[in-house]
Chains A and B, each alone.
Chain A
Amino acid sequence: MTDNWVRRLNPKTKLLMIPVFGIATIVSPGMLLGLFLLLVVIVMAWQANIIKKFLQTMISFGIPIAVMLFIIQGLYSPQNHTYVANLGFAKLGLEGLMYGGKLLVTLLVFMGSFYLFNKTIYSGELAAALIKSSLSDKGGYLILASLNVVPQMKRQLQVIKEAQEARGVQTGGSLLTRIKVFIPLMGPVILSSLIDTQERGMALELRGFDLKNVSKTSYIQVVDTKLDKLFRIGMLLFLIIVTAFSIYLKVRR
């Protein structure tokens, strides 16, 4: 993992960015602010050295939605009154296009900041940050354990699959045969992982998971700099101002 200022930001700061940017985009009239925030996220992705992957994901996510929005909203929105083009089978409406555009920008801002957050934090760091911020360490547990459980279950599945193959059960083949094989495969994995939870809970209890009135510490150090705090306060102020200003514009109109 390369080191740069985006990565060094406290996970909480990057987490807060998601709702702040998203909500600001939604409440602001038009899509200008949204486009600006999208630009900010793109610049941060560039600074974090993940720009290529970032753009790939955004494009593969954005284009299908843009196409669908163009058809559904542009051609069939009941709000359409001003038509900009006639495609023969349907007419392209300005209102639907604007609505679709705003929606697209909002989605991209949400997804973009979410992607940025996701790719520039180290998961242990998030838990440590959450524990520090007294935001329930149980929440931290749920997030991290869920993320860690999947690879382990996939491995179990693989083991069973190999065993089945060794016994001559067909696991390749057409889609339907694959599904038919897969569903009975999942049963034992689900059952055994469920039963395992009993011991996992015991282990957590033994290791002091449920201790109260203790200020917990962490092996991983999370830096929460002055800059981070400044960023977070700044973002909240920004959101308040945008919201107030948007309401003011709405009321005046």
Chain B
Amino acid sequence: MKRQGRRVNSGSLISTKVLVLIPIAVGINLLGGTLCSTLKLPLFLDMIGTILVACLSGPWMAGLCGLLTNLFLSVVANPIYLPYAFVSFLCGVVTGYLVKMGLFKSKLGVVIIWLTCSLVNTIAASLITVYVYGGASGVNSTSLATIALLATTKKIFLSVMSTAMIENLLDKAIVFIIAYTIINKIPSHFLNQYSPNLRSDR
């Protein structure tokens, strides 16, 4: 039988080049995440890597990256993070699609991604907090704010959501600023091996 010339990447579902990004991105996420949990900050900062993957290899890889991040956060930091894996997955996919639409090229676009992502995150995370944890996933400032709101409004979902929204807007703002800065510092050497939709100058 004659051996046909073939390309290594063509046959596989995920090319190695894309695959190796994911552990690094998960590592970046974990670094931010564990940092926040050790410093007891009311933030997560566990999405920088996911955004980078969203830019370099698209929505589904970003989703996978988010999913894995929470899986590991629950191993290394706190098992509470496990159910929120779904939220991280969703945020990765949404960010990926918005990047694909070319929104990462301009600052205004990034603002739109930031707002969308915060909103998606808030709704999905609140659903998890309410349905998995019955309202609060631990004793921290966020949960206390939720209880305070709950005592006055008597509406669980609304209370959970309003505290989550504020937290998320702040968290995602920091995360997107960092990711945007990094993306613009990546040498074109590296970028030209992927098919990103990132810089307006080309």
Contacts and interface: CB of A to CB of B under 8 A. Distances in A.
Interface of A: 57, 61, 64-65, 67-69, 71-73, 76-78, 89-90, 99-100, 103, 107, 110-111, 114-115, 118, 138, 141-143, 145-150, 152-154, 157, 175, 178-179, 182-183, 186-187, 189-191, 193-198, 200-201, 204-205, 209-210, 212
Contact of B27 (A77, A115, A150, A178): A150
Nearest to A18: B82
A107 B82 CA distance: 10
Contacts of B35: 182
Interface string B76-90: 101110100000000
Contacts of A78: 156
Interface in B173-193: 178, 181-182, 185-187, 190, 193
A68 B144 CA distance: 9
A199 B24 CA distance: 13
B119 interface: no
Categorize the interface residue count of chain B: 35 or more
Contact of B26 (A149, A154, A196): A149
12 contacts: A65-B80, A65-B137, A71-B147, A76-B154, A90-B151, A146-B23, A153-B28, A175-B39, A182-B35, A190-B28, A190-B48, A191-B185
Contacts, number: 161
Interface string B144-173: 001100110010100000000000000000
B12 A149 contact: no
A198 B190 contact: yes
A197 B190 CA distance: 10
A118 B132 CA distance: 22
Contact of A61 (B41, B49, B78, B132): B78
